Structure 1
Amino acid sequence: MMPPDEQPPFVRRLLDALPLTVWSVDLDGRITAANSAWSKFATDNGAPGIATEAAVLGRSVFDSVSDDPSREQIERAMALLRDRRVPVVRWEFPCSSPNEERVFLMQVTAIDDGQQVSGFVFSTVDITPSHRSREALINTGIALAEAISLDRVYEEVAHQLLRAVPSTGFVIALADDDTAEFRITHRQGYDAHSSAELEVRLLRTWLDALATGEVARQSTNVGLEITAPLITAEGVLGAITLYAEPIESEQALEEAERVLAVIAAQTAVAIERAWLVRRVESKRRLEAIGEVAAGVAHELRNPLFGISSAAQLLQFRAKEDPVVEKNVGRILREVERLNRMVTSLLEFGRPNAAHLVPADPEAVWDDILDGERARLEARQLSIRRVRPEHTVRSLIDVEQLGQVCRNILVNACDAAPEGSELALISQVSPVGGWRCRLANGGPAIPPDVLPHVFEFFYSTKAGGTGIGLALCQRIMDEHGGTISIDSAPEAGTTLTLTLPPTAAT
């Protein structure tokens, strides 16, 4: 670096305009030149009274160093560069002030004319934002690695994201595997909008981010929104949109996008892990219930057989007493009901191993509808059947899937008004699998009941065991599919079955 009086005016102005500090020293560490930013840096960081370049020329750079570790770092850097062992030396260092803690990057290079090293050039830049971003990413990774529930995942993402990127809110939207529709599962901020409004307004942005697999940004009347896709090795989960505060530079904006992209990737993995943990816990719970159920059923079967035999004998001998005969008949009906429950308990607790083979689920429905024709005719029910556009083959156990179809058909028949129509609509799902909906126009299931319909021993039907739908859910889980139910006063009740395509299983 040339002395100030020998530097061209343009070079001088250029150095002074730099946002980072730049200064040069000789081999002994005496300052030979400095830009204007360095004077303020030196004044603020340990060398009060040094405010102009003229005042600092000839002074030692160590005058502005207040601690031994920093002095040793500078001396070590100068020694490495003087011996040409490295081309450049960099390190980060904190710099505290009463208001905040900031982090700077120091870079030192040698002034080398090819023959010898005659001095060194130091430059310092404020890297506090990127340092905070790195800290936030590390903290997010650690926090999400420990989260095994969705609520904890969302809590940690909110905490770390708002620390990493200045913002006033964000939303996480997940895509439904079957319908590909986006639903906001967590939000913070955006108080002036409902979730439904946000889903409509942000849908195009989410789709664009997922289509490219990259972060997208858009300026709206509410400010700057940055969206990152939530993608894992298993596929698309959804997207996360951040409502950012004004960002002063393109560099800062790109840094915010990089941070959001990394947090989105960590979030996607954490959500998928939480889902897996929930499925494993549900499976273990059902297995535990099944073991208890099978044990209870086994203990009940023999006593019920004895009661039934004794009641039948008593009925045969009491035909001349109408009162006794009536009560014995009641005993036999209750024994039969208990026997049905015992059979259901055994089916749930000790299910046969599923033998999955590629087959068309529609063929299963054909057999069930044919076998239940008498039930439909008894209540004068008609079936409106819609088949998929083309045949879908899934890995299924025909007998077990038939058990599911029969169970939900019986429930639909019991709930449907006599003489009405049942709608059985099947189609190809967005992922190429099979999706089937069975709808009836009967009374809606109460909102407080709906969340419990798949629970073991939960039933609102007179004489119901509360095992049928729980068994259906277990069978569908073993097939890698799903079973769900929706109910509304004007639309009736719709039960949906899904199965993955053969290639995905």
Structure 2
Amino acid sequence: MNVTTEQPSFARRLLDALPFTIWSVDLEGRITATNNTWSRFAEDNGAPAIASESAVIGCSVFSSVADDASREQIAHAMELLKDGQVSTVRWEFPCSSPDEERVFLMQVSALRENDVVTGFVFATVDITPSHRSREALINTGIALAEAISLDRVYEEVALQLKRAIPSTGFVIAIADDESGRFEIAHRQGYAAYTPDEIELRLSRAWLDALATSNVVREATPNGLEITAPLVSAEGVLGALTLYAEPLESESAIEETERVLAVIAAQTAVAIERAWLVRRVESKRRLEAIGEVAAGVAHELRNPLFGISSAAQLLRFRSREDPVVEKNVGRILREVERLNKMVTSLLEFGRPNAVHLQPADPEVVWDDILEGERARLDTHRLTIKRLRPASPVRSMLDAEQLGQVFRNILVNACDAAPEGTELLLATQVSPVGGWRCRLTNGGPPIPAEVLPHVFEFFYSTKAGGTGIGLALCQRIMDEHGGTISIDSQHDTGTTLTLTLPATAAT
């Protein structure tokens, strides 16, 4: 369409109503027409003297451009279009105003008559919101790529959300793949609500987002709550809810949803990476402890053998002295205890190589329960067994996994009151893995003790070495699984094991 100063009334009104600037030039770059938006744009950006259309007709377009680089860009675009090398030329450029820095998109097309180029049409549109969104996403990706701890991940997410989207708060919730419950991992804002109240308010949106893998929005009196799922290549992690300030249009809301969806995906990857780093650091720490433990155990073994031999000889020669006999017996009992600790140290410090094969962990439990039947009978304990509806095959080393099962069963037997019931419940998790829970009704583990139960040499049991659960954690890590413990007054103590599933063969 030719743009001239003699436009039909309707066409002229149409051009003036457009929200972006349109102006045309001849082959020499002289302005031949503009719409009203161009005049407002020129005035807003420091050119009041030529703001009106009548003032600019016939003026060179290059005189309205402030810098040489922009003049060169316009001249180059006109040359490309005149030669027919391209049909349209586009580029972005910043434009400062007294209030803020904005970004515009310039698009230039050729005017033709009978296939001959007679001029050019320039259109300029404000793309500041989308540019800011794009910049925010780039900055978020860079910032989260450098974050290797969960605290740093949450700090960066908060910072980038604040930069990208006008909001009053956000919540990151991590989902439990078995129970479907959410745990609030981090939040800003929502100060008037407790964690339980936040979960009650947002859990439906979280579930909807995870079920559909889409962004979910809900209007509130003061804005919008927009929820995006946290999903990575490894599976579903949780959800991210943002309390956005009121937005002026549907397109602005959709842009916000797109930005939040990308930030949520980047957040999920960063959280998984932080979890992996934490597991690797824990593994390295345990390996270092294991090397020291093995060295100490090796040095202790010979002296302990010497002490035991001397004590046995002393007992043989002093059988008629009850005082000596009593003290020798005490020495031998302590030596036996130390020997058990040395054996545990060597097991931890120099573990056998794990040989993983596809197998059903339920079969391993069957063997352990059969072998520990006497222990259960001694404590007058019964086992209530709940098995999964269908077998689960995981990559496992039956001998080493059996060591874990035996250890946690012994601990449960020692903690449970005589004559009570242990609950052994195993099931298939929603992501296909194997989950096992062993619960006893004994006294709860104190809250201040619970975070330390897997630490090396930490034990509250009389005569305990503090190595058993640390060794169990190491074995579960080598299987790609997890071990955790929860203890409550009303539900007892539950130790949970998980293993990833593998395809049945």
Q: Which residue of 2 aligns with 1:233?
A: 233
List 4+ stretches of structure 1 deviating above 3 A.
1-4, 177-181
Q: Matched residues in 2 for 1:315 and 1:117: separation?
A: 115
The CA deviation at 1:397 is 2.0
Displacement of 1:188: 1.6
Q: Are the aligned partners of 1:15 and 1:22 in contact in 2 as well (CA < 8 Å)?
A: yes
User: Residue type matched to 1:154 in 2?
Assistant: Y
Q: What whole-Å deviation, never above 9, does each CA across 1:390-412 have from its counterpart, x for those lacking one?
A: 33232322222221111111111
How far apart, in 1, do the equivalents of 2:244 and 2:422 lie?
A: 50
2:284 aligned partner = 284
% identical aligned pairs:
79
CA distance in 1, matches of 2:221, 2:48: 47
1:2 CA drift (Å): 4.2
Deviations 1:169-221 (A, max 9, x none): 22222223444433221212222222223333333323332333332322234
Match of 2:153 in 1: 153
1:458 Cα deviation (Å)? 0.5
Q: CA deviation at 1:380?
A: 2.3
- 2-structure distance, mates of 1:76, 1:2: 21
Letter in 2 for 1:241: T
Answer yes or no: is the 8 Å Cα contact 2:393–2:503 preserved in 1: no
Q: Deviations over 1:289-337 (max 9, x none)?
A: 1111111111111110010010011112222222111111111111000
AA aligned to 1:376 is L
**Equivalence for 2:444:** 444
Q: CA deviation at 1:363?
A: 2.6
Moved more, 368-377 or 102-111: 368-377
CA contact (8 A) 1:46 1:66 kept: no
Equivalences for residues 14-413 of structure 1 within 5 A: 14-221=14-221, 223-413=223-413
SS state at 2:242 partner: strand
- Cα distance, 1:82 vs. partner? 2.1
Task: Answer whether contact 2:393 2:504 (CA < 8 A) is retained.
Answer: no
Distance in 1 of aligned mates of 2:293 and 2:24:
82
Letter in 1 for 2:4: P
Amino acid in the other structure paired with 2:198: L
Partners of 2:478 and 2:215 in 1: CA distance? 37
Which residue identity lines up with residue 97 of structure 1 in the other structure?
A: S
Are the equivalent residues in 2 in contact too, given 1:358–1:396 (CA < 8 A)?
yes
When the two chains are superposed, the root-mean-square deviation of aligned CA atoms in Å is 1.9
Q: Which amino acid aligns with 1:189?
A: G
Sort the Cα spacing of 1:433 and 1:12 in 2 relative to 1 into closer, same or farther, 3 A.
same
SS in 1 for 2:370: helix
Under a length normalisation based on structure 1, what TM-score does the superposition of the two structures give?
A: 0.95
SS for the counterpart of 2:132 is helix
Task: Give the match's secondary structure for 1:406.
Answer: helix
Aligned residue for 2:467? 467
Whole-Å separation in 2 of the counterparts to 1:222 and 1:412: 52
Secondary structure at 1:502 match in 2: coil
- Separation in 1, partners of 2:432, 2:111: 65
SS at match of 2:185: strand
* 2:290 partner letter: G
List gaps (5 residues or longer) in structure 1: none
Q: Report if aligned partners of 1:110, 1:117 keep a CA contact under 8 Å in 2.
A: yes
1:243 positional shift:
1.5
Unaligned 5+ residue runs, structure 2?
A: none
8 Å CA contact 2:222–2:245 kept in 1: the answer is no
* Structure 2 equivalent of residue 456 of structure 1: 456
Once the two structures are overlaid, the 10-residue window that deviates more, 104-113 or 351-360, is 351-360
Distance, in Å, in 2 between the alignment partners of 1:370 and 1:212 is 45
Between the aligned partners of 2:69 and 2:394, the Cα distance in structure 1 is 67
Rounded to whole Å, the distance in 2 between the matches of 1:383 and 1:245 is 55
**Distance between the aligned counterparts of 1:16 and 1:448, measured in 2?**
71
Deviation (angstroms), 1:223:
2.8
Distance, in Å, in 1 between the alignment partners of 2:44 and 2:172 is 43
